[in-house]
Amino acid sequence: MIGTGYVGLTTGACFAHLGHAVVCADIDVDKVQRLRAGDVPIHEAGLAELVAEGLESGRLSFVVGGANAVCEADYVYLCVPTPQGDDGSVDLDYLKAAAAEIGTHVRPGAVVVNKSTVPVGSTLLVEQAMGRSDIAVVSNPEFLREGSAIADFLNPDRVVIGSDDPAAADLVAALHAGIGAPVMITDPASAETTKYAANAFLATKLSFVNTIAAVCEAVGADVGDVLAAMGCDERIGKEFLRPGPGWGGSCLPKDAAAIISIAHGAGYDFSLMRGVLEANDEQFKRVVGKVASVVSLPGATIGLLGLAFKAGTDDTRNSPALEVAKLLLARGAKVRAYDPAVAAVDIDGIIVVDDPYAATEAAEVLVVATEWDEFSRLDLDKIAESMAARHVVDARNIMDREALLSRGFSYQGIGRN
């Protein structure tokens, strides 16, 4: 397993759990030392337990550098980051470097599996970077969600394998025999496109939901009721229909930008997707607009509940909470924030406190930006006492509106009046 981020570490720990011998490699020496001691650097439900299990059984080990992991391997998984380049394109430098490093060390007959999210043509690129035309490179995109990555790995909706080499595809399929999900074998271009298309569709669904919420506000409808009724149509589905402050994370924004760039490179203007991104930027601004509608922002103190991009993770990459906070700061407000999983952020001006009530202290507006359960169970009397004015902008629709109104708060959710 090359790379011990969310994908590599989850995949490695799960394969060890399924009985395979797994060696995970990373270039970060400190991280490898921590992992050897069972210290998992990310907040992911059940992952620390699986890593501990793998270390104890001896089926899971950690080394520095990909070359040290692959010599004996039947399968080599590339799980390195493929970040967004400045122009929205996909930066493949980590992937090329990892492939070049392992090239001479992979044993003949092994299969290299590309799990990193990569554009069409990347199986060939990996083959070339390895300098090994004798090694089959197979695309096997991951669809794990942070916060439920282990469950998603062990009970996936589908396993997608893309290869021009049927024998290599069958070898990778065989690894998933114990998992009980449909295995779909296709060509590399289709497998690679599936990942971008799936994430682009999810992003589209969320931007649609958030724009319907705006329509609901404008016409006096309740988005909760509208979406509940819409979701009963099986073609629409109930999942992924929660309105919010915009969507974020390490995948959706990067993959949505990438598919626009990939399409552009292939001569197609993906204007629909550009609209999806614009609607998301608009959503961050709409949340700030709600705050500005009840307080003059310059000099105002805003309490922010949530920093992670969603509940169940400590990940703040492309977090809507931070996008909202940055806009508030830019308009002269002071931000006091609390998140149960995030102790610090790298943005000047955000004061991170270690208790939700400390975030509400002297605040004129309280903004709920991440849907942590505990935010729906706060002591509202305590909050009413500590705030300088009683205004709530609930960008996740999780607080008790009636209870807030009865305590003299103004309440604005998303898509509900």
Catalytic residues: 251
For position 413 contacting ligand UDX by CB under 6 A, the verdict is no
For position 162 contacting ligand UDX by CB under 6 A, the verdict is no
Closest residue to ligand UDX using C-beta atoms: 251
Q: Which of residues 227-246 bind ligand UDX (CB under 6 A)?
A: 240-242, 244
Give 115 or 390: the residue with its C-beta nearer to ligand UDX: 115
Give 74 or 278: the residue with its C-beta nearer to ligand UDX: 278
Nearest to 397 by CA among 170, 223, 189: 223
Candidate list 129, 135, 251, 288; residue touching ligand UDX; CB under 6 A: 251
Cβ 345 vs Cβ 307: under 8 Å: yes
> Of 52-60, 95-103, 137-145, 291-299, which part binds ligand UDX (CB under 6 A)?
137-145
* Shortest reach from residue 236's CB to ligand UDX, in Å: 13
Q: Count how many residues are written for the chain.
A: 417
Give 15 or 309: the residue with its C-beta nearer to ligand UDX: 309
Q: In the structure encoding, which two tokens stand for residue 284, read together?
A: 């961050």
Q: Which of residues 16-75 bind ligand UDX (CB under 6 A)?
A: none
For position 146 contacting ligand UDX by CB under 6 A, the verdict is yes
Phi, psi values for residue 84, rounded to 5° = -85, 130
* Shortest reach from residue 55's CB to ligand UDX, in Å: 25
Cβ 69 vs Cβ 3: under 8 Å: no
* Shortest reach from residue 167's CB to ligand UDX, in Å: 27
Q: Which of residues 319-358 bind ligand UDX (CB under 6 A)?
A: 320
> Of 34-42, 143-151, 331-339, 358-366, which part binds ligand UDX (CB under 6 A)?
143-151
- Long-range (24+ apart) CB contacts under 8 A made by 43-46 are 43/313, 43/314, 43/315, 43/341, 44/6, 44/9, 44/10, 44/146, 44/147, 44/149, 44/150, 44/313, 45/147, 45/148, 45/150, 45/312, 46/150, 46/151
CA gap 128, 364 in Å, rounded:
58
Alpha helices (H) along 220-249: 223-231
C-alpha dihedral (231, 235, 239, 242), degrees to nearest 10: -50
Residues that bind ligand UDX (CB under 6 A): 142-146, 199, 202, 206, 240-242, 244, 247-252, 309-310, 320
